Structure 1
Amino acid sequence: MSTRALVTTSFESPYVSLDLLSYLKSRQVTSFQIFNEVIMPDFLHQMSELKQLVEGSSSSGSSGSSSSSSTANNGDDTIVEEDSYLQMMFEEIQNDLIYIKKACVKFKQWEEDQVNVSMKGLVFRALDDAFKQRTGSRDRREETSYIRDKLVKTHHLVSMLKKSLHSSPPLSSGNLKSQSLQRAKHSMIRWELNLHGRSVYLPTKLQEIEAESSTFKAIEAESSTFKEIEAAYNGLDVTLKLCFLCFSVFPENAVIKKKVLVHWWVGEGFIDTLGTSGKTAEDTANQFFNDFIEKGLIKPVYKKRRPSADSCSMEPSVRYATIKLAKRAGFFSFDSNGNPTEDFTCSRRACLVKTEEGSSVHELPYRLEQEKVQSIINVNELNLDFRPEWFSKMKYVAVLQLGRWESSAKHLIQVEDSEFLKGLKNMRHLRYLSLRGVSRITELPASICKLSNLRILNLNGCVDLEQLPQGIGSLKNLTHLDMYECYLISHMPKGLALLSQLRVLKGFVIGEPRPGGNYCKLADLSGLENLRKLSIHVDKTSDAAKRELFSLAEFKKLQSLSISWSRLYDTRAKFKLRSLSISWSRLYDTPKNPLMMAPVPVPLVKLPLVKLNLHYFPGSNIPDWLMRWELNNLKKLYIRGGSLSNLCHGKEDNWAVKMVRLKFLEKLQMDWRKLQELFPSLTYLEIDKCPKLSFIPCDENGVWKKAD
Structure 2
Amino acid sequence: MAESILFNIAEEIVKKLGPLATQEIALWWGVKDQLSKLKSTVARIKGVLHDAEEQVQKPAAQLEDWLGKLQEAVYDAEDLLDDFSTEVQRKRLMSRNKISREVRTFFSGSNQLVYGCQMGHKVKELRKRLDEIVSESEKFQFEVRCEEKASLTMIREATTSSEPEIFFGREEEKKKAMSFLLNPNDEIESVSAFGPGQESNYMDEKIKKEIVERCQGVPLVIKAIARLMSMKDRAQWLSFIKQELPHRVKDDNIIDTLKLSYNPLPSYMKHCFAYCSLFPKGHKIDVKSLIRLWIALGFVSSSNLGECLEISGLRCFEDLLWRSFFHEVKRDDLGNIESCKMHDFMHDLATHVAGFQSIKVERGGNSISELTRHVSFDTILDLSQQIPIPLPCAKSLRTLVLFQGGKHDEGAWVSICRDFRRLRVLVLSDFGMKEVATLIEKIKHLKYLDLSNNEMEALSNSITSLVNLQVLKLNSCSNLEELPRDISKLISLRHLDVGCTLDEDLCENLEYMPRGIGKLTSLQTLSYFVVAKKKSPKSEMIGGLDELRMLNELRGRLEIRVKGYEGGSCISEFEVAKLIDKECLQSLTVRWDRELDSDSDIDLYDKMLQSLQPNSSLQELIVKGYGGMRFPSWVSDLSNLVRIRLESCRRLKHIPPLDAIPSLEELSIGGLDDLEYIDSEGVGGKGVPMFFPSLKRLYIYYCDRLKGWSRDEMNDDSDESTIEEGLIMLSFPRLSSLTIRSCPNLTSMPLFPTLDEDLHLSRTSSMPLQQTMKMTSPVSSSSSFTRPLSKLKGLFMWFIDDMESLPEVGLQNLSSLQRLGIYACPGLKSMPLPDQVMHSLQQLEVGRCRELKSLSESESQGMIPYLPSLQRLIIHDCSEEVSGRARGWGKESEEWPNIKHIRDILIDWKYIQKEGSYVKG
The bucket for the TM-score relative to the shorter chain is 0.5 to 0.7
Compute the displacement of 1:543 (Å). 5.9
TM-score w.r.t. the length of structure 1 is 0.56
Compute the displacement of 1:267 (Å). 1.4
Q: Which residue of 2 aligns with 1:392?
A: 418
> Given the alignment of the two structures, is residue 530 of structure 1 paired with residue 530 of structure 2, yes or no?
no
Q: Which residue of 1 aligns with 2:645?
A: 639
Contact residue 389 and residue 423 of structure 1 kept, 8 A: yes
> Given the alignment of the two structures, is residue 433 of structure 1 paired with residue 437 of structure 2, yes or no?
no
| CA deviation string 1:69-127 (max 9, x = no partner) | xxxxxxxxxxxxxxxxxxxxxxxxxxxxxxxxxxxxxxxxxxxxxxxxxxxxxxxxxxx
Q: Which residue of 1 aligns with 2:489?
A: 474
Compute the displacement of 1:240 (Å). 0.8
**In 1, distance between residues paired with 2:552 and 2:334?**
31
Q: Which residue of 2 aligns with 1:563?
A: 589
- C-alpha change, 1:353 and 1:446, in structure 2 (3 Å) is same
Contact residue 406 and residue 431 of structure 2 kept, 8 A: yes
- C-alpha change, 1:221 and 1:370, in structure 2 (3 Å) is same
Compute the displacement of 1:290 (Å). 1.7
> Given the alignment of the two structures, is residue 297 of structure 1 paired with residue 297 of structure 2, yes or no?
no
Compute the displacement of 1:475 (Å). 1.3
Q: Which residue of 2 aligns with 1:596?
A: none
- C-alpha change, 1:479 and 1:307, in structure 2 (3 Å) is closer
1:373 paired residue among 374, 386, 397: 397
Contact residue 480 and residue 504 of structure 1 kept, 8 A: yes
- C-alpha change, 1:449 and 1:552, in structure 2 (3 Å) is closer
Deviates most, 231-240 or 631-640: 631-640
Q: Which residue of 1 aligns with 2:527?
A: 506
Q: Which residue of 2 aligns with 1:401?
A: 427
Compute the displacement of 1:394 (Å). 1.9
Q: Which residue of 1 aligns with 2:259?
A: 230
- C-alpha change, 1:446 and 1:188, in structure 2 (3 Å) is same
Compute the displacement of 1:258 (Å). 0.8
Contact residue 557 and residue 588 of structure 2 kept, 8 A: yes
Q: Which residue of 2 aligns with 1:128?
A: none
**In 1, distance between residues paired with 2:330 and 2:668?**
18
2:377 paired residue among 352, 374, 384: 352
2:694 paired residue among 682, 702, 707: 682
Contact residue 455 and residue 478 of structure 1 kept, 8 A: yes
**Helix, strand or coil: the match of 1:452?**
coil
- What is the letter of the counterpart of residue 415 of structure 1? G
Contact residue 302 and residue 311 of structure 1 kept, 8 A: yes
**In 2, distance between residues paired with 1:685 and 1:257?**
27
**Helix, strand or coil: the match of 1:364?**
coil
Q: Which residue of 2 aligns with 1:418?
A: 435
Contact residue 654 and residue 679 of structure 1 kept, 8 A: yes
1:243 paired residue among 257, 272, 283: 272
Contact residue 295 and residue 313 of structure 2 kept, 8 A: no
1:582 paired residue among 595, 599, 616: 599
Q: Which residue of 2 aligns with 1:189?
A: 67
- What is the letter of the counterpart of residue 490 of structure 2? L
Contact residue 602 and residue 629 of structure 2 kept, 8 A: no
Q: Which residue of 1 aligns with 2:359?
A: 333
**In 2, distance between residues paired with 1:286 and 1:339?**
35
Contact residue 650 and residue 671 of structure 2 kept, 8 A: yes
- What is the letter of the counterpart of residue 322 of structure 2? E
Corresponding pairs, count:
466
Where does the alignment leave 5 or more consecutive residues of structure 2 unmatched?
Answer: 1-63, 83-220, 222-248, 500-505, 700-737, 761-788, 792-921
| CA deviation string 1:531-565 (max 9, x = no partner) | 34562332356465972444444641333242242
**In 2, distance between residues paired with 1:361 and 1:312?**
34
- C-alpha change, 1:265 and 1:606, in structure 2 (3 Å) is closer
**Helix, strand or coil: the match of 1:302?**
strand
Compute the displacement of 1:621 (Å). 5.6
Contact residue 323 and residue 338 of structure 1 kept, 8 A: no
**In 1, distance between residues paired with 2:655 and 2:325?**
44
2:465 paired residue among 443, 450, 470: 450
Contact residue 533 and residue 563 of structure 2 kept, 8 A: no
Q: Which residue of 2 aligns with 1:140?
A: none
| CA deviation string 1:268-324 (max 9, x = no partner) | 1112559963x3333222212221222111124336997553211122232233323
Contact residue 374 and residue 398 of structure 1 kept, 8 A: yes
Compute the displacement of 1:265 (Å). 0.9
> Given the alignment of the two structures, is residue 318 of structure 1 paired with residue 318 of structure 2, yes or no?
no
**Helix, strand or coil: the match of 2:439?**
helix
Compute the displacement of 1:376 (Å). 0.8
**In 2, distance between residues paired with 1:536 and 1:604?**
12
- What is the letter of the counterpart of residue 519 of structure 2? L
- C-alpha change, 1:553 and 1:450, in structure 2 (3 Å) is closer
Q: Which residue of 1 aligns with 2:285?
A: 256
Q: Which residue of 2 aligns with 1:655?
A: 661
- C-alpha change, 1:543 and 1:313, in structure 2 (3 Å) is same
**Helix, strand or coil: the match of 2:67?**
strand
Contact residue 647 and residue 670 of structure 2 kept, 8 A: yes
Compute the displacement of 1:397 (Å). 0.9
Q: Which residue of 1 aligns with 2:622?
A: 614
> Given the alignment of the two structures, is residue 493 of structure 1 paired with residue 505 of structure 2, yes or no?
no
Contact residue 531 and residue 557 of structure 1 kept, 8 A: yes
**In 2, distance between residues paired with 1:486 and 1:637?**
24
Q: Which residue of 2 aligns with 1:286?
A: 314
Larger Rg: 2
**In 2, distance between residues paired with 1:273 and 1:647?**
49
**Helix, strand or coil: the match of 2:582?**
coil
- C-alpha change, 1:269 and 1:338, in structure 2 (3 Å) is farther
Q: With CA pairs under 8 Å and 6+ residues apart, which has the higher RCO, 1 or 2?
A: 1
- C-alpha change, 1:684 and 1:630, in structure 2 (3 Å) is closer
**Helix, strand or coil: the match of 1:230?**
helix
**Helix, strand or coil: the match of 1:464?**
coil
Compute the displacement of 1:646 (Å). 7.9
- What is the letter of the counterpart of residue 309 of structure 2? A
| CA deviation string 1:221-248 (max 9, x = no partner) | 9835323321111121111111112322
| CA deviation string 1:164-216 (max 9, x = no partner) | xxxxxxxxxxxxxxxxxxxxxx968345478996699xxxxxxxxxxxxxxxx
| CA deviation string 1:641-665 (max 9, x = no partner) | 4337989765787434344363766
Compute the displacement of 1:526 (Å). 0.8
Percent identity (aligned): 18
Q: Which residue of 2 aligns with 1:85?
A: none
- What is the letter of the counterpart of residue 491 of structure 1? Y
Contact residue 584 and residue 618 of structure 1 kept, 8 A: no
**In 2, distance between residues paired with 1:317 and 1:659?**
38
**Helix, strand or coil: the match of 1:223?**
coil
Compute the displacement of 1:467 (Å). 0.9
- C-alpha change, 1:652 and 1:466, in structure 2 (3 Å) is closer
| CA deviation string 1:119-178 (max 9, x = no partner) | xxxxxxxxxxxxxxxxxxxxxxxxxxxxxxxxxxxxxxxxxxxxxxxxxxxxxxxxxxxx
| CA deviation string 1:435-486 (max 9, x = no partner) | 122x221221121111111111111221111211221111111111112322
| CA deviation string 1:354-373 (max 9, x = no partner) | 16x98898343653553211
Contact residue 342 and residue 364 of structure 1 kept, 8 A: no
- C-alpha change, 1:293 and 1:648, in structure 2 (3 Å) is farther
Compute the displacement of 1:588 (Å). 3.8
